[in-house]
Amino acid sequence: MFNAFRTTVLLAALTALFMVVGYFIGGTSGMMIAFLFALVTNLFSYWNSDKLVLRMQNAMPVERSRVPELYDMVDILSRKAGIPTPAVYVINTDQPNAFATGRNPNNAAVAVSSGLLKHLETREVAAVIAHELAHIRSRDTLTMTITATFAGAISALAQFGLFFGGGNNRDNPLGGIGALLMVFLAPVAAMLVQMAVSRTREYEADKDGAEISGDPLALASALQKIAGVAGRQVNIAAERNPAMAHMYIINPLSGQRMDNLFATHPDTGNRIEALRKLAASMQVADKDRRPQPRPAPVSTGRDTGGGWRVPTVGRTDEDGGQRGPWG
């Protein structure tokens, strides 16, 4: 009930922001056009934004026969989380990262990068997936996906209005200056909304995901590894669509963009410290763990040297993936 209320409040806030942008671009008529645009965006976001996000991030569906270990992992953890097993996607980038999307647990997907399977140990991959399943269970995925869609639409609306002569309407109190201001301020406002949504939910997903996997220290280790590589390894799809950066478990932007002035995620060190405290309360210690055997190799894909065979996505990307079908 609370998550439904939160989503409703978010939609109302973003719709209001849409209308403000429309007003400063085209006055009262611009505000009404923006309101209608917001209604259409609301409907589209609810029903189709998950598909749009997956497509824009170059996430491709994979079959169980290609990566059975990954599928089994998602299936087991989903049962522990008490939710239906989501669809599994792989993003062909060497940057280790992951995100979840979907309007509800019955219509959800988990996307992991080929770099995640390459750089992380099995228990760390499991911990990351558990984190994403926690987002699905709490229905954060709907909120975060809607925010991503709106953030991009708000920026596009502001630029569209200025390009077509926005601000000349006499009903607009600031004229052309208002339209120009919206070009810069509207994306910032949308980014602030993203920050508020993402930062408050990541800590909860860390906690819930660690409880699902039963291994908070594995998630802490995974976050440290992902953060260490993400700043150096470019994720092209994320760089092209920075409004969706807050959906990933770690900010995927490389730091080469101005967008990183506005952090969409909590400090990784703080998240790791919280997980270590959780591990202490759960009486979990790394010294008590035995090394895990490497999973059996999959029959297709590129050998990563870490026990996984990472499937090759059917398009060329920054890590040299070949064109063609999976495998």
Q: Are 157 and 22 in contact (CB under 8 A)?
A: yes
How far apart CA 114 and CA 98 sit, in angstroms, is 10
Q: Are 191 and 147 in contact (CB under 8 A)?
A: no
* Alpha carbon distances (Å) from 195 to 151, 277, 299: 11, 24, 41
Q: Which of 121, 132, 211, 273 is catalytic?
A: 132
How far apart CA 175 and CA 169 sit, in angstroms, is 7
DSSP codes, 199-265: HHHHHHHHHHHHHHHT-HHHHHHHHHHHHHHHTTS--HHHHH-GGGGGGBSS----S-SGGGGS--S
Any idea how long the chain is? Answer: 327
Does the active-site annotation cover 132? yes
CA 206, distance to chain mean position in Å, is 14
Which helix (H) or strand (E) is 130 found in, with range?
helix 122-137
Task: List the catalytic residues.
Answer: 132
